[in-house]
Amino acid sequence: MRELETFFKTLGDGLRTLAQGVNAIAEKLEDLADVRAGQRSKPGTRKKPDREAKTESPKAKTAGERANKTRPKGKKGTAASDIVYEIFDRAKGPVDLAVLAEKTGFEKKRLYNILYRLKSQGKIRNVSQGIYEKV
């Protein structure tokens, strides 16, 4: 029984640490989105969320409520596909996956998803494996 209690305590500590890391990454991504959207904020001015004021679980909110919270009406953020497409706008020729990864900082899997979406929209085309160009 003690082994099980120790296991769950260790598991809880690990999950807590992981959640803190995810929150830190989310804050950095929000800052990056703000900077790219032209809404630079001063370092250290971000208000930390009040954990005790939260009464309902995150799963209780609908997708629409989450979208409204992250992107207020009248305030447009920059989507990842827009960031990637801007690179194609500025490029004078084909762009390869390594250049996109370097310029955006996105992982290759995320870039593949974005490129698939842009190809489906007819904005880019595949020149050869890993090389794309604007249509």
In DSSP terms, 124 is beta-bridged to 134
Query: Distance between the two ends of the chain, CA-based, in angstroms?
Result: 64
Q: Which of 86, 78, 80, 83 is nearest to 134 (CA)?
A: 86
Q: What is the pLDDT of residues 105-127, one digit of tens each?
A: 999 999 999 999 999 999 999 99
Give the residue-averaged pLDDT of 5-17: 86
Instruction: Decide if domain 80-134 falls under CATH 1.10.10.10.
Output: yes
pLDDT in tens, 47-58: 555 555 555 555
Q: Apex CA 74: angle with CA 71 and CA 80, to 5°? A: 45
pLDDT digits 0-9 by tens, 86-96: 999 998 899 99
pTM of the model: 0.44
Q: Quote the CA–CA distance of 95 and 102 in Å, as a whole number.
A: 11
